[in-house]
């Protein structure tokens, strides 16, 4: 599936459509598992790839959450993933930036070189479905198809049902594109001269570092400290 994305050698200008209002991410509810996995966006869409050496390129991309890969469609119609993602500075899609640090992080907000990002972990459940739609054991003959998750391919039967949900884990990133789980320690280290004000805000607002809404409010407060 991996192929070096050669067209990165051509410099392009960032389209204005990609600087539009930042898209909020949708949580994945229980849903059927598609054959090609769960994609972040409904379709492949215009994106800008910026390399660490400053070169940039445009291409239609989509992020496969199941495989933690950024995909594009080749001229032959094959779905391929970008090779050597560690050479990327970031990828911009629909107002959101994706950074790579041993895996992709979608950044939804930033203050200077402080980034707020997240990853989604999928929970896959497999059920056998009877003729009456009940999820119960069934030992009949099956026709197999396949699904992939975390790089592993598994067979499922025609009488089986795969459903998936996701939970979000939030991270702070720095100017080097390195990410750590969202925490007080990271923010305090970033705003060393304003730790007292930050500590008071976090205490008064009972900031939950596992809550996206709380982290957005914290980022808004941090903008007043700049």
Same domain, 110 and 33: yes
Same domain, 49 and 14: yes
Query: In which band, very low, low, confident or very high, does the pLDDT at 158 lie, cut at 50, 70 and 90?
Result: low
Same domain, 21 and 88: yes
CA 88 to CA 177: how far, in whole Å?
10
* Over residues 39-55, mean pLDDT: 91
Q: What is the pLDDT of residues 2-30, one digit of tens each?
A: 443 433 333 333 332 233 334 455 566 55
Same domain, 109 and 16: yes
Q: What is the pLDDT of residues 81-131, one digit of tens each?
A: 998 999 999 999 988 899 999 999 999 889 888 999 999 887 777 666 555
Q: What is the pLDDT of residues 179-226, one digit of tens each?
A: 999 999 999 999 999 999 999 999 999 999 999 999 999 999 999 987
Nearest partner of 224 among 205, 198, 206, judged by Cα: 198
Same domain, 114 and 133: no
Q: Residue 137 has what pLDDT? A: 37
Q: Which of 112, 132, 164 is the last residue of a domain?
A: 164
Same domain, 52 and 129: no
Question: pTM score, two decimals?
Answer: 0.73
* Over residues 50-72, mean pLDDT: 91
Same domain, 35 and 77: yes
Phi, psi of 193 (to 5 degrees): -85, -10
Nearest partner of 179 among 121, 110, 123, judged by Cα: 110
Same domain, 104 and 114: yes
Domain count, the chain: 3
Q: Residue 75 has what pLDDT? A: 86
Q: Residue 35 has what pLDDT? A: 64
Same domain, 176 and 188: no
Same domain, 216 and 156: no
Contact 105, 117 (CB under 8 A): yes
| Residue 207: both structure tokens together | 């900031």
| Residue 154: both structure tokens together | 């598994």
Res. 34: pLDDT tops 80:
no
CA 94 to CA 85: how far, in whole Å?
19
Place of tokens 């959450």: 65
Q: Residue 12 has what pLDDT? A: 33
Query: In which band, very low, low, confident or very high, does the pLDDT at 175 lie, cut at 50, 70 and 90?
Result: confident
| CA distance to 19, 174, 220, per residue, from 196 (Å) | 35, 21, 17
Nearest partner of 107 among 47, 219, 98, judged by Cα: 98
Same domain, 211 and 199: yes
Q: Residue 66 has what pLDDT? A: 83
Query: In which band, very low, low, confident or very high, does the pLDDT at 159 lie, cut at 50, 70 and 90?
Result: low
Query: In which band, very low, low, confident or very high, does the pLDDT at 176 lie, cut at 50, 70 and 90?
Result: confident
Query: Whole domain around residue 216: which residue ranges?
Result: 183-226
Q: Residue 31 has what pLDDT? A: 54
Same domain, 146 and 87: no
Helix axes 195-204 and 212-223, enclosed angle (nearest 10): 140
């Amino acid at each position: 599936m991996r192929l070096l994305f050669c067209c990165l050698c051509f410099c392009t200008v960032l389209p204005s459509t990609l600087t539009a209002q930042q898209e909020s991410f949708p949580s994945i509810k229980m849903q059927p598992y598609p054959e090609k996995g769960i994609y972040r966006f409904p379709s492949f869409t215009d994106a800008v790839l910026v390399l660490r050496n400053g070169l940039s390129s445009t291409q239609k991309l989509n992020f496969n959450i199941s495989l933690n890969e950024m995909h594009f469609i080749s001229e032959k119609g094959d779905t391929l993933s970008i090779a050597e993602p560690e050479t990327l500075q970031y990828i911009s899609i629909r107002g959101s930036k994706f950074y790579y640090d041993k895996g992709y992080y979608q950044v939804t907000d930033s203050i200077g070189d402080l980034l707020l990002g997240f990853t989604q972990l999928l929970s896959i459940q497999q059920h056998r479905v009877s003729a009456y739609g009940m999820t119960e054991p069934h030992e009949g003959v099956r026709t197999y198809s396949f699904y992939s998750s975390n790089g592993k391919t598994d067979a499922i039967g025609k009488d089986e049902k795969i459903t998936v949900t996701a939970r979000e884990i939030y991270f702070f990133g720095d100017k080097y594109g390195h990410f750590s789980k969202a925490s007080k320690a990271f923010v305090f280290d970033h705003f060393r001269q304003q730790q007292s004000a930050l500590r008071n805000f976090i205490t008064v607002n009972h900031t939950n570092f596992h809550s996206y809404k709380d982290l957005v409010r914290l980022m808004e407060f941090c903008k007043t400290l700049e």
